[in-house]
Amino acid sequence: MRVAEIASEMLDGSIHYIEGAIELASLRFEVGLAEDDCDFIAFSGVASEVDHLPIGAPRQYWSKISLEQHEPEIQQSIKWAKNVSLSECKSLVARFSA
């Protein structure tokens, strides 16, 4: 299932942790769980906190200077996101692995 795939890739570093968190937040409605599911809610919080940062596809529209200026905040946000959602990420792998 896509949830387990994304969460696994977040854990092994093959995708950007915050990009994965944003994608997991959007997938919570597709898997048919309650809106307040304890694992998915962490990623909704992460997505909400970083929506002002140039992450993922929107980076292409930001200037090099702006990207450089935001990079320290992005790195700090990655550390924070892992701190608040790493156990939930592991839980999603366990719950949604086939």
Q: What percent of the chain has pLDDT over 70?
A: 99
Reported pTM: 0.90
pLDDT per residue as tens digits for the range 33-73: 888 899 999 999 999 999 999 999 999 999 999 999 999 99
Q: What is the DSSP string of 71-90?
A: HHHHHHHHHHHHHHHHHHHH
Distance, in Å, from the CA atom of 50 to the CA atom of 27, rounded to the nearest integer, reads 17
Distance, in Å, from the CA atom of 51 to the CA atom of 21, rounded to the nearest integer, reads 11
pLDDT (0 to 100) of residue 7: 97
| Helix, strand and coil in the chain, % to nearest 5 | 70, 0, 30
Q: What is the count of structural domains for the chain?
A: 1
Q: Which domain holds residue 17?
A: 2-96
- 32 has pLDDT over 80: yes
